[in-house]
């Protein structure tokens, strides 16, 4: 009999069945490969790859992708995100808007989501580069609906106004990410729920004709009641669309990535969906695999149809 004490081996909690994605096959696989080709040939970055999104097979298998502009590195270091952090990244590429437009045209998209990295190193927070990318896509493919998932521009409201002025945009999105109580350990210190909420509020005031959208992650230590309260605050800022999804650590929890504290059931997501519609949201996407850009075109179309009923 040994007197030595063995330390337990720490393992991740087993993923529930509802979080196991299936790879594409048949026609979906062909679309997946075509989408990858368009992305690779254009030298573009996608949040699908950089953020290790679990829906990449679903979305690329439908011929859609969420493009990430203004560089491959972010000036912030949120503890849920796998995008590399750099204090001073290289300047945004001047030809990126045209390369992006090329890819959207080649993929024959009906709806495109353009997300960004934070550019705190630039005086305007990257706003004019974001604008140039949206304008290039619209000029090349006027029929496509465009969704911009913007940074908070470090609260530069003049840059926001200049970016939004007559911008050919259908959806302005900005994510609050998590409930306010836990934001200090989840998000970069320069971000906050209140700043994000003000960003959404001002965007709607500048462009009341435009749909606004935000997203919340769950499984980071929040309560169900805090999710409900957060959705109510988003509605108070006249946000039209909301998405809720399960947080999944993109790497091993440790110095940077936070651990998953709970796996929320599909039934709870269904309950939040009912609550959100009761609050007056025009469109809701809530589920374990949902991310802010998940089937974004379908969500916008459903919201518009609902508004016209």
29-308 CATH pick, 3.20.20.70, 3.40.50.12160, 3.40.47.10, 3.40.50.920: 3.20.20.70
Residue 275 · residue 228 · CB < 8 Å: yes
Q: Mean pLDDT across the stretch 122-130?
A: 98
Note the pLDDT of residue 107.
82
Note the pLDDT of residue 233.
98
The Cα–Cα gap between 103 and 66 comes to 11
Name the 3-class secondary structure at 180: helix
Write b or e for each residue in 51-74: b if 16 or more Cβ atoms lie within 10 A of its Cβ, otherwise e.
bebbbbbbbbbbbbbbbbbbbebb
Note the pLDDT of residue 250.
74
Note the pLDDT of residue 257.
85
- Residue 286's H or E segment, with its range, is strand 283-287
Instruction: Give backbone dihedrals phi and psi of 291, rounded to 5 degrees, phi first.
Output: -125, 170
Confidence of residue 255 (pLDDT cuts 50, 70, 90): low
Task: Give Cα 34 to chain centroid, integer Å.
Answer: 23
Q: Is it the case that residue 109 has pLDDT exceeding 90?
A: no
Note the pLDDT of residue 4.
46
Q: In what order do the strands lie in the sheet with 171-173?
A: 45-46, 66-69, 111-116, 145-149, 171-173, 211-218, 241-246, 283-287
Residue 15, Cβ density class (10 Å: 0-12 exposed, 13-18 middle, ≥19 buried): middle
C-alpha distance across the termini of the chain, in Å: 75
Note the pLDDT of residue 65.
67
Note the pLDDT of residue 261.
94
Note the pLDDT of residue 279.
98
Note the pLDDT of residue 7.
42
How much is the pTM? 0.85
Q: What is the mean pLDDT of the chain?
A: 86
The Cα–Cα gap between 59 and 190 comes to 31
pLDDT tens digits along 36-72: 666 666 566 665 555 555 655 566 555 566 888 999 8
Residues counted in the chain: 309
Q: Is it the case that residue 24 has pLDDT exceeding 90?
A: no
The Cα–Cα gap between 230 and 98 comes to 38
Task: Tell me which residue of 166, 175, 160 sits closest to 130, measured CA to CA.
Answer: 160
Confidence of residue 15 (pLDDT cuts 50, 70, 90): confident
Higher pLDDT, 139 or 257: 139
* Share of residues in the chain with pLDDT > 90 (%): 63
């Amino acid at each position: 009999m040994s007197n030595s004490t063995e330390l337990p081996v720490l393992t991740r909690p087993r993923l529930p069945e509802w979080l196991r994605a299936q790879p594409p096959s048949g026609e979906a696989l062909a679309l997946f490969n075509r989408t990858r080709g368009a992305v690779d040939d254009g030298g573009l970055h996608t949040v699908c790859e950089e953020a290790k999104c679990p829906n990449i097979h679903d979305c690329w298998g439908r011929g859609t992708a969420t493009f990430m502009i203004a560089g491959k590195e972010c000036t912030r270091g949120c503890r849920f995100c796998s995008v590399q952090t750099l204090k001073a990244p290289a300047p945004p590429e001047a030809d990126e808007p045209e390369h992006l437009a090329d890819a959207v045209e080649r993929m024959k998209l009906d709806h495109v989501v353009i997300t960004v990295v934070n550019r705190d190193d630039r005086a305007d927070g990257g706003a004019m580069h974001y604008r140039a990318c949206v304008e290039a896509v619209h000029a090349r493919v006027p029929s496509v609906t465009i969704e911009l998932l913007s940074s908070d521009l470090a609260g530069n409201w003049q840059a926001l106004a200049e970016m939004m002025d007559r911008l050919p945009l259908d959806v302005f999105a900005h994510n609050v990410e998590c409930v306010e109580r836990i934001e200090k350990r989840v998000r970069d210190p320069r971000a906050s729920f209140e700043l994000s909420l003000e960003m959404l509020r001002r965007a709607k005031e500048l462009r009341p004709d435009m749909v606004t959208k935000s997203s919340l992650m769950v499984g980071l230590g929040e309560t169900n009641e805090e999710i409900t309260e957060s959705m109510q605050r988003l509605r108070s800022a006249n946000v039209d669309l909301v998405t809720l999804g399960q947080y999944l650590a993109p790497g091993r929890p440790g110095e940077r990535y936070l651990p998953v504290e709970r796996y929320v059931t599909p039934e709870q997501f269904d309950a939040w969906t009912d609550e959100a519609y009761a609050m007056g949201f025009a469109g809701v996407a809530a589920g374990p695999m949902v991310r802010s850009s998940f089937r974004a075109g379908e969500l916008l179309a459903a919201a518009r149809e609902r508004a016209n009923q």
